[in-house]
Protein backbone atom coordinates (compact mmCIF):
# COMPACT_ATOMS: atom_id res chain seq x y z
CA UNK A 1 0.00 0.00 0.00
CA UNK A 2 1.06 3.57 -0.69
CA UNK A 3 0.01 6.38 1.60
CA UNK A 4 0.41 9.94 0.37
CA UNK A 5 0.58 12.21 3.41
CA UNK A 6 -0.13 15.93 3.01
CA UNK A 7 1.88 16.35 -0.19
CA UNK A 8 2.61 19.99 -1.06
CA UNK A 9 4.77 21.17 -3.96
CA UNK A 10 5.60 24.82 -4.53
CA UNK A 11 7.86 26.67 -6.93
CA UNK A 12 8.77 29.82 -5.06
CA UNK A 13 5.51 31.37 -3.90
CA UNK A 14 3.47 29.44 -6.47
CA UNK A 15 1.77 26.34 -5.08
CA UNK A 16 1.46 23.59 -7.68
CA UNK A 17 -0.02 20.69 -5.70
CA UNK A 18 -1.67 20.46 -2.31
CA UNK A 19 -3.00 17.00 -1.49
CA UNK A 20 -4.48 15.62 1.70
CA UNK A 21 -3.88 12.00 2.74
CA UNK A 22 -4.61 9.50 -0.03
CA UNK A 23 -4.40 5.70 0.25
CA UNK A 24 -3.47 3.52 -2.72
CA UNK A 25 -3.93 -0.21 -1.99
CA UNK A 26 -1.76 -2.22 -4.37
CA UNK A 27 -3.59 -2.15 -7.71
CA UNK A 28 -3.52 -0.17 -10.98
CA UNK A 29 -4.52 3.50 -11.05
CA UNK A 30 -4.91 5.93 -13.93
CA UNK A 31 -4.33 9.66 -13.51
CA UNK A 32 -5.72 11.38 -16.57
CA UNK A 33 -5.74 14.99 -17.67
CA UNK A 34 -4.28 17.54 -20.01
CA UNK A 35 -0.63 18.45 -20.17
CA UNK A 36 0.29 20.97 -17.49
CA UNK A 37 -2.24 19.72 -14.96
CA UNK A 38 0.47 18.42 -12.60
CA UNK A 39 0.46 14.71 -13.42
CA UNK A 40 4.20 14.48 -14.11
CA UNK A 41 5.05 16.64 -11.11
CA UNK A 42 3.06 14.30 -8.88
CA UNK A 43 4.75 11.18 -10.24
CA UNK A 44 8.22 12.71 -9.91
CA UNK A 45 7.45 13.56 -6.30
CA UNK A 46 6.32 10.07 -5.28
CA UNK A 47 9.25 8.60 -7.24
CA UNK A 48 11.63 10.62 -5.06
CA UNK A 49 12.83 12.96 -7.81
CA UNK A 50 11.01 16.23 -7.04
CA UNK A 51 11.24 17.56 -3.45
CA UNK A 52 8.00 18.23 -1.59
CA UNK A 53 6.53 18.82 1.85
CA UNK A 54 4.81 15.83 3.37
CA UNK A 55 5.68 12.18 2.93
CA UNK A 56 4.93 8.95 1.09
CA UNK A 57 4.79 5.71 3.07
CA UNK A 58 5.17 2.27 1.53
CA UNK A 59 3.46 -0.57 3.41
CA UNK A 60 2.98 1.73 6.37
CA UNK A 61 6.60 1.84 7.48
CA UNK A 62 8.98 2.73 4.64
CA UNK A 63 9.11 6.51 4.41
CA UNK A 64 10.34 8.27 1.29
CA UNK A 65 11.57 11.15 3.43
CA UNK A 66 13.17 9.09 6.23
CA UNK A 67 14.16 5.89 4.39
CA UNK A 68 14.76 7.07 0.80
CA UNK A 69 17.13 4.24 -0.16
CA UNK A 70 14.75 1.48 0.97
CA UNK A 71 11.80 3.28 -0.60
CA UNK A 72 13.47 3.78 -3.99
CA UNK A 73 14.58 0.14 -3.99
CA UNK A 74 10.92 -0.90 -3.93
CA UNK A 75 9.64 1.34 -6.73
CA UNK A 76 10.48 1.89 -10.40
CA UNK A 77 9.70 4.91 -12.55
CA UNK A 78 9.61 5.65 -16.28
CA UNK A 79 9.49 9.35 -17.28
CA UNK A 80 7.29 10.83 -19.99
CA UNK A 81 10.30 12.00 -21.99
CA UNK A 82 13.25 9.75 -21.12
CA UNK A 83 16.74 11.11 -21.63
CA UNK A 84 19.99 9.32 -20.92
CA UNK A 85 23.66 10.30 -21.39
CA UNK A 86 24.24 10.10 -25.13
CA UNK A 87 27.46 8.13 -24.77
CA UNK A 88 25.91 5.32 -22.71
CA UNK A 89 24.70 2.19 -24.43
CA UNK A 90 21.26 0.86 -23.63
CA UNK A 91 22.79 -2.44 -22.60
CA UNK A 92 24.95 -0.64 -20.04
CA UNK A 93 21.84 0.88 -18.47
CA UNK A 94 20.18 -2.52 -18.44
CA UNK A 95 23.17 -4.02 -16.63
CA UNK A 96 23.15 -1.16 -14.11
CA UNK A 97 19.45 -1.68 -13.36
CA UNK A 98 19.99 -5.42 -12.97
CA UNK A 99 22.71 -4.71 -10.42
CA UNK A 100 20.67 -2.15 -8.47
CA UNK A 101 17.12 -3.49 -8.89
CA UNK A 102 17.70 -7.21 -9.28
CA UNK A 103 16.29 -9.18 -12.17
CA UNK A 104 18.21 -11.44 -14.51
CA UNK A 105 18.93 -11.95 -18.20
CA UNK A 106 15.89 -14.20 -18.64
CA UNK A 107 13.57 -11.50 -17.34
CA UNK A 108 15.27 -8.94 -19.59
CA UNK A 109 14.98 -11.23 -22.61
CA UNK A 110 11.24 -11.67 -21.98
CA UNK A 111 10.74 -7.90 -21.62
CA UNK A 112 12.69 -7.20 -24.81
CA UNK A 113 10.47 -9.66 -26.66
CA UNK A 114 7.24 -8.21 -25.23
CA UNK A 115 8.24 -4.61 -26.00
CA UNK A 116 9.61 -5.56 -29.43
CA UNK A 117 13.07 -4.18 -28.71
CA UNK A 118 15.54 -4.98 -31.44
CA UNK A 119 19.31 -5.21 -31.06
CA UNK A 120 19.83 -1.45 -30.84
CA UNK A 121 20.60 -1.69 -27.11
CA UNK A 122 24.21 -2.24 -28.12
CA UNK A 123 24.29 1.27 -29.59
CA UNK A 124 24.82 4.56 -27.75
CA UNK A 125 21.62 6.23 -26.52
CA UNK A 126 22.44 9.34 -28.53
CA UNK A 127 21.51 7.41 -31.68
CA UNK A 128 18.03 6.40 -30.45
CA UNK A 129 14.74 7.75 -31.76
CA UNK A 130 12.10 8.92 -29.28
CA UNK A 131 10.29 5.60 -29.64
CA UNK A 132 13.46 3.64 -28.93
CA UNK A 133 14.14 5.75 -25.83
CA UNK A 134 10.58 5.15 -24.63
CA UNK A 135 10.92 1.38 -25.02
CA UNK A 136 14.25 1.45 -23.16
CA UNK A 137 12.71 3.42 -20.28
CA UNK A 138 9.84 0.93 -20.03
CA UNK A 139 12.22 -2.02 -20.11
CA UNK A 140 14.20 -0.48 -17.24
CA UNK A 141 11.02 0.21 -15.25
CA UNK A 142 10.04 -3.47 -15.28
CA UNK A 143 13.47 -4.86 -14.34
CA UNK A 144 13.67 -6.44 -10.90
CA UNK A 145 10.90 -7.16 -8.42
CA UNK A 146 9.65 -3.69 -7.52
CA UNK A 147 6.39 -3.42 -5.60
CA UNK A 148 5.19 -0.34 -7.49
CA UNK A 149 5.86 1.02 -10.97
CA UNK A 150 5.09 4.64 -11.85
CA UNK A 151 4.63 5.22 -15.59
CA UNK A 152 4.37 8.77 -16.92
CA UNK A 153 2.64 8.90 -20.33
CA UNK A 154 3.90 5.40 -21.18
CA UNK A 155 1.96 5.08 -24.45
CA UNK A 156 3.31 8.24 -26.08
CA UNK A 157 5.57 7.61 -29.12
CA UNK A 158 4.85 3.85 -29.06
CA UNK A 159 3.47 2.09 -32.12
CA UNK A 160 0.03 0.50 -31.79
CA UNK A 161 1.36 -3.06 -31.41
CA UNK A 162 3.71 -2.08 -28.59
CA UNK A 163 0.94 -0.12 -26.86
CA UNK A 164 -1.17 -3.27 -26.79
CA UNK A 165 1.79 -5.34 -25.58
CA UNK A 166 2.46 -2.86 -22.78
CA UNK A 167 -1.18 -2.90 -21.72
CA UNK A 168 -1.04 -6.69 -21.49
CA UNK A 169 2.26 -6.58 -19.59
CA UNK A 170 0.73 -4.25 -17.01
CA UNK A 171 -2.40 -6.37 -16.76
CA UNK A 172 -0.35 -9.53 -16.23
CA UNK A 173 1.92 -8.00 -13.54
CA UNK A 174 -0.52 -8.81 -10.76
CA UNK A 175 2.16 -8.70 -8.04
CA UNK A 176 2.77 -4.97 -8.60
CA UNK A 177 0.93 -1.73 -8.13
CA UNK A 178 0.85 0.82 -10.95
CA UNK A 179 0.20 4.54 -11.07
CA UNK A 180 -0.06 5.56 -14.70
CA UNK A 181 -0.54 9.02 -16.14
CA UNK A 182 -1.93 9.34 -19.63
CA UNK A 183 -3.90 11.83 -21.66
CA UNK A 184 -4.58 9.02 -24.13
CA UNK A 185 -7.82 7.12 -23.73
CA UNK A 186 -7.08 3.66 -22.37
CA UNK A 187 -9.79 1.07 -23.15
CA UNK A 188 -11.37 -0.15 -19.92
CA UNK A 189 -10.90 -3.71 -21.14
CA UNK A 190 -7.14 -3.21 -21.59
CA UNK A 191 -6.14 -2.55 -17.97
CA UNK A 192 -8.26 -3.23 -14.89
CA UNK A 193 -7.92 0.08 -13.07
CA UNK A 194 -9.09 0.14 -9.47
CA UNK A 195 -9.69 3.90 -9.73
CA UNK A 196 -9.30 6.73 -12.23
CA UNK A 197 -8.23 10.16 -11.01
CA UNK A 198 -7.80 13.63 -12.40
CA UNK A 199 -5.93 16.55 -10.91
CA UNK A 200 -8.30 19.41 -10.16
CA UNK A 201 -7.62 22.44 -7.98
CA UNK A 202 -4.13 21.11 -7.11
CA UNK A 203 -5.32 17.75 -5.78
CA UNK A 204 -6.40 14.29 -6.94
CA UNK A 205 -10.10 13.82 -7.54
CA UNK A 206 -11.90 10.63 -8.53
CA UNK A 207 -13.26 10.84 -12.07
- Over residues 129-177, the pLDDT tens digits come to 999 999 999 999 999 999 999 999 999 999 999 999 999 999 999 999 9
Q: Indicate if the pLDDT at residue 204 is higher than 90.
A: yes
With respect to CATH, is domain 2-206 assigned 1.10.10.10? no
The Cα 75–Cα 58 span in angstroms is 9
Q: 189: which DSSP letter?
A: T
- Quick one: which of 162, 174, 148 has its CA closest to 56? 148
Say how many C-beta atoms besides its own lie within 10 A of residue 201's C-beta.
6
The pTM score is 0.96
| pLDDT tens-digit series, residues 164-201 | 999 999 999 999 999 999 887 887 778 999 999 999 99
Rg, the chain, Cα only: 17
| pLDDT tens-digit series, residues 100-123 | 999 999 999 999 999 999 889 999
The b-or-e profile of 154-191 (16+ CB within 10 A means b, else e) is: bbebbeeebbebbbebbeeeeebbbbbbbeeebeeeeb
| pLDDT tens-digit series, residues 64-87 | 999 999 999 999 999 999 999 999
Distances (CA, A) of 128 to 86, 94, 110, 122, 194: 9, 15, 21, 11, 35
Report domain extents, the chain: 2-206
Distances (CA, A) of 99 to 4, 122, 143: 29, 18, 10
Q: 89: which DSSP letter?
A: B
Amino acid sequence: MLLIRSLIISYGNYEVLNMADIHFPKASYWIKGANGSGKSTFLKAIAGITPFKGDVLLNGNISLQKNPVAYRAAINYAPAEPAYPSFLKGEELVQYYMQTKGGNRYQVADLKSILNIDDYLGNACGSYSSGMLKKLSLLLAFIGSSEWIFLDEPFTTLDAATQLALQQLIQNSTDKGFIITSHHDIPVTAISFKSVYGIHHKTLKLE
